[in-house]
Amino acid sequence: MELKGQKACKGIVTGKVFLVRPDHESRINEFIAGDILVAYRTTPDFTHVFGLASGIVTQIGGVLSHAAIVSREYGVPCIVGVKDLLSYLKDGQEITLNADNGTITYESIVTQKPTSLIIEECSYCNTIGHLVQNCDDCELCDDCSEYVSKEGHDCPWCSYCDTSGHTTDDCDNCKYCFDCEGYVDNDHEHAFEAEEA
């Protein structure tokens, strides 16, 4: 199998993948010398391993990205901007990085077509690297149909129809009656309105 990206620093190397996912970037501190660093992107926090890596591959970035610039400074073969990279490669897998032509070759260990890795920010806890549906800190509340903390929360509550999941102002079952000065059923009619009809 072959992946293609943009050449950032020339060279050809074969080695094991050291995979760093965006939601576990602290794993970079466990880097094994001689491995090929495979990451969504690199940051200055990764710089200390560039001298230990036999190669660098990132899913995003161009020739002016952190990975490209620092790999050239260290003379480490590097390819950037490899689409869906983290969906195809696994930690410990052996690959050949050919930064002379921008290709990564590997034996496929995937039994079905991989799906793109979605890098998004959890809308509840604002952590990058997972969707709110997969968050360890959030869950879908059955009452209000919102993602909330697993530690609990206060659901909005309609005081008129006694249902959770919405406030009285947002209720589809009731409305505010200015004549009665309170919330009433949507089909509410005053006695004098019924007599006029």
What does each C-alpha distance from 138 to 22, 134, 144, 146, 164 come to in angstroms?
19, 8, 14, 10, 19
**Least confident span in 27-36, 47-56, 147-156:** 147-156
For residue 27, give the amino acid letter.
R
**Which residues are marked as active site?**
66
Q: List pLDDT tens digits, range 145-170.
A: 566 666 666 665 565 665 555 555 66
Q: Which pair of structure tokens corresponds to residue 170? A: 């947002």
pTM: 0.57
Domain boundaries, the chain: 2-106, 156-196
* Nearest-angstrom CA–CA distance, 194 and 174: 19
Answer with the residue of higher pLDDT: 79 or 151: 79
Q: Which pair of structure tokens corresponds to residue 37? A: 């660093």
Please state the CATH superfamily assignment of the domain spanning residues 2-106 in this structure: Phosphohistidine domain (3.50.30.10)
